[in-house]
Structure 1
Amino acid sequence: MHDAEDLGADTAPVRSWSPVGGVFIAVALACAIGAAFVVWRHLGQRHEEQVYAHLASHSAEVVLKVSERFHSYRMLLRSGQAFLRSREDLDLAAWRTYLQRLSFQEDFPGVQGIGFAQWILPDQLEAHTRAMREFGSSDYRVWPEGQREFLSSIVVLEPADWRNARAIGYDMYSEPVRREAMDRAVQSGEAALSRKTVLVQETETDVQAGVLLYMPLFGDGMPVATEAERWIALRGWVYLPFRMASLMRQMLDQHRGQVRMQVFDGIHAPEALLYDSHAGMPESATGQVSTERAQLGGIEWIIRLEALPSFDAEPDIRQAEFISVVLVGVLLVMMALFFAITRERAARLARTTGSLRRSEAKYSTLVNLAHDGIAATDADFRLTFVNPGFVDLVGRAESQLLGHALDELWADGSGESRELILARLEEGQSKRYEVRVTRGDGRQLTVLASLAPLNDGWGRMKGVIALLSDITERKEAERRIAHMATHDILTGAVNRLMFGELLGYALVQARRSGHRFALLFIDLDHFKQVNDELGHHVGDLLLCEAVRRMQGSIRSSDALGRRGGDEFVVLLPEVGADKDAEIVAEKIRAALEKPFVLEGREVRISSSIGIALYPEDGKDEHELMCRADEAMYRAKLGGRNRACRAR
């Protein structure tokens, strides 16, 4: 009965409406619905733009990751190239040991292996096969068989598992796709990436598209200025094979399952498809798609990202705003007549608020669980929020961070000025750069900082969102690889390739300024006897200690290089009188003459040193090296443990 009375009270005014009142209500309701529809369309368009901007940003991030990954791969190949160039003969055992020490599968994810393919002329095939079988591969053969003008053969491929073992002896130069990339590597003298192919390591199951990255290896000391000279000097290719699914699987990170990634070789066509994270799914004709192009080793890849329905699938704020607009419009029209609708409106608003709170809780959980550092600042770059990942990254308590400027964490001289950063962000530009961060314990990290403006409803910047990712270990791995490409792994001395570049630079500087420089050629006397009697392990310790003593005898501006075995060279970039070089040679001789204590044993050696001066003893690298070598042999013939000047 109570409900009936309420209903009657509510509906009585309806029966007394005048036609004018009804028209007014209808017009007001239509205006409210029209306004709500316009707002809904505007919010929908803005939401689509935000989704596309998010997708485009992620697409650019994927291209950056791919480019950085391939830069690391080129450094890995250069390291292998430098190792092989430092040896006159191809020492497969040393090469295999070198590859095993690299631990490249841990530092370079996606690499199927690292190997060496030897360049073979037809008249060398029989001797090559015999040498490989003597090395230990009793059933070794170059395949496929047949008469060809030129051949190549995979002689080492690490890790030596069952899959890679299928490729040993394969002539990659016999296959057109691989041959084109191998030719391009020799023509340019740089790393070259192949087009789409299938690796010989593949089996009948889980077949993937593959690509290979080649770095040419030339004979040490041979001229390689022209393409013709490079073909004459060619010894083979250091190369990396990749299975595309294994290579690209790690690129989507947190958007795995929300974004479809496709990689095409040069053209957007089915036959050029290298990788598809959702193989078999038809391409969307209406969905959000972002396409980027990446130049890698002379080849262009097309990287296509398509947003799946789950991308940005949090509760739709547009729906909540639309409902609110409709409710407010209806309330304005009906408030005077239907006070009871307030109860329904309150209930709907409560449900909407609950949805928004649940959405906020989800975002808060994601931010708090993120491993990377996430922070927000005000318009003056002062921190207003930091997540636990940010606190762990910088090693400071939240109370020590809030209210302080974000760039106060940057190490001195690291990153751009605050004014320049804020100016770019106010223009709507996102910013990504590397910066050194000083932790609370004083330790410095290398961090990739991604900054984006946080705008208010009028498009004015009210703050900054910052994402900080620790890339210290990745940068250290790149530094180690770069060091291995220019230095001898055992002793740490400059390798032959790098020493040749330093000597060439010294010649250019000397010719330009007219000053003199010296080259010392050092051979360790009695080293072979120590190596044979006490073993290679003690010999290696002796070489390392000898290098330490020689480096202590020269200036930081001088360079010590290892030629190979027990032979070393020293570059003194600027000398005055002849005696300057003789004084350094005597310091080295005296340092090496002192006894070495290695694993409790006293070991004695000496040194024979040859001295050559520019320009008196030679006008180019080859002539200076020969004259210093000759002087060293005269010192050895004269009784060892002495230095001789070139004649």
Structure 2
Amino acid sequence: MNDPQAPTELNADGIPAGGRRAYFLAVLVLVGSLAIVALYARIAGEREDELAQARFVVETGKVVSQLRQKLLVYELTSRGGVSLFATVDRPTSRQWRNYVEVLDLQDRFPGMMGLGYAPYLTPGGLERLQLDIRDAGGGLYTVRPPGVRKHYGPILYLEPATHDNRSAIGYDMFSESIRAHAMAAARDTGRPRMTAGVHLVQDADRPNALGVLIYSPVYRSGANPADMNKRREAFVGWVYTLFRMRVFVARALGELPEDLALRIVDVTGSTGQLLYPTADDEAEFEPGPDALRHSVTEEFYGRKWRVDFASVPVAQGPGWRLAGLQATLAIGLIASLLLFGIALSLARTQSRAQRLALRMSESVRRGEERFRNALLYSAIGQALLDGQGVIRDANPALSDILRQPPEDLVGTAFAGYFVDGEEGLADEHGLQVATPGVYQTTRQLLRSDGEMRLVRITFTPVPGETGREVDGLVQVEDVTERLRAEARIKALNRTLEARVALRTRELSQANDELQSFSYSVSHDLSAPLRSIDGFTRLLSERYGGQLDDAGRDYLKRVRLATTRMSELIEALLKMARLSRGELDRQSLDLSQMASGVIAELREENPERDVEVVIQPGLRATGDAELVRNLLRNLLGNAWKFTRHTPGARVEFAASEGGAEDGMRGFVILDNGAGFESEYADKLFRPFQRLHNQLDFEGHGIGLASVKRIVERHGGTISATGAPGEGATFRFSLPA
């Protein structure tokens, strides 16, 4: 008797015996459901084809109706001109112009090229018309093409009077067969008649353009006799309107739907004439096998037009047919796949369960082996505890920490190895919560050899039912040496902090004393210098006549030296003041401040002609007085060192690279004397000068002050240049 719990044997393909039938049924389910979906898709597709064709026919009817309405508007416009002839025997050209201007053709009927009048004349009538025009001051009225004909229909009036329309005046439309056919039909029927596609006189430079004309007959005194002979006797001419087919269709239909293309063919005669699109675009109208097609034949003023429609884009296949079925087909396919998936899942569940049953025992064995190896070879002491805190297993690393063999540890209380005064283990094992599910603490451990050690304990509960043999995993790490090293480092840090504080106080005191000394020395030197300057001035005034030229020159040099030293002392005092006091930080408009500095420089040197470019909108944050001092020094230097440069130029702008960490970069450049770049570091030192005092005066303090101002604001400054090519100063200030 077979054991019902024994796993089913697997064949060579890994499928349980008897499982092939389940897989075969799953395939049948998939095939049947797909067949049902395909049948439904075919029926629904045919229905969608019929609905799409019906909608397409409705859309084409709307398009044809739009064409008819536009032509009706053109007819009514020409009939208005006919009404004018009912009140005036033959209007003058000005009367005709005024009438057309009232109609406002270009704005109201932008597709219409014009509204004109052509009289119906015999050769004698043409001669009288020419004489009347000449006597009225209209000049010579020439009819073309020349020649003697039985009747004429020349263009007499055509408004609006554009250049193209003026070129058509005098053209005998009755001499051309297509126009003459429509003109004669309008004359004999008393109704408006339209021509086939013709090449308009105005389109001499457009060989592929086709135009159409609508003629409305004009009878004497507005009469329209029923008898044809009397009608011809009363006939005097035609009022006509003309338009290009491309423009007409565009204005009549506006924007065609993206899925619609049309073609207009005049089928009045035995051979059709393509009116729209023109011959060079005919290749665009090539409906594909899956495109919708429909043709409408309509009569317009004696002409039959066939309007062919096709759906576009016509080369994209039958995708449009499924537009309304995509959701349904998608649901059907998904349902089929779901049914197949369910059947396949049921077929595979049994074989998978049996395979899992065969693997579980092996997996459990391997898991236990991996856990045992991890516990055995771990460098951190580890032990398995039961619910009472008794060690059930321990690894060699824990044995080494406790200095006891692993077998002696099993069965002992884990808390019994600690001597730091805590009773038992808090929270069931004497450990504090570190993170959810993990508990940590540091304890004192007494080893079997009597040595006291500090250990870091990490306890992780093992989830499961209560009363199990193993309740948690504890890790023990000897941190005695690490904690001692940390204590030594903390002691050294405290000592170092005390030394740094002491050195900081000493440095601040020395800096204060140095500033006081510099200020006192500079201030105390001012009194002797004033005495020297005063006595030398008195000596020059009272005894200058008793001295020779050399003596007076000596006195002059002494006074100049005294003045320069006084200025240097004042510069030193200014530098000392820059290092003292709190910064009054505020938002500054650097462009406006720079403009003020340049204005002052121009007032001081009105003879200078310097091109100054200041970028607008430059802003920064800082102390207004110090930043103005900075700009005064930098722009003043640029102004000074361009003194001997033809076409001097100074520019102040934002630096292209900008600055980081809340700083904003700026640049001041000139095309002046420049300097050697290798000496750029000397520029910002007090009393360091790179140019002769006789060529460019100065104290050598300005750029040192600039550097101090920039650094007090937390920025940086640098300089580049070349002799004779100018200098560039880049600095940054808080944004």
Question: Larger Cα Rg: Structure 1 or Structure 2?
Answer: 2
Interval containing the TM-score (normalised by the shorter chain): 0.3 to 0.5
TM-score in terms of structure 1 length: 0.47
By relative contact order (CA 8 Å, sep 6+), the higher-ranking structure is 1
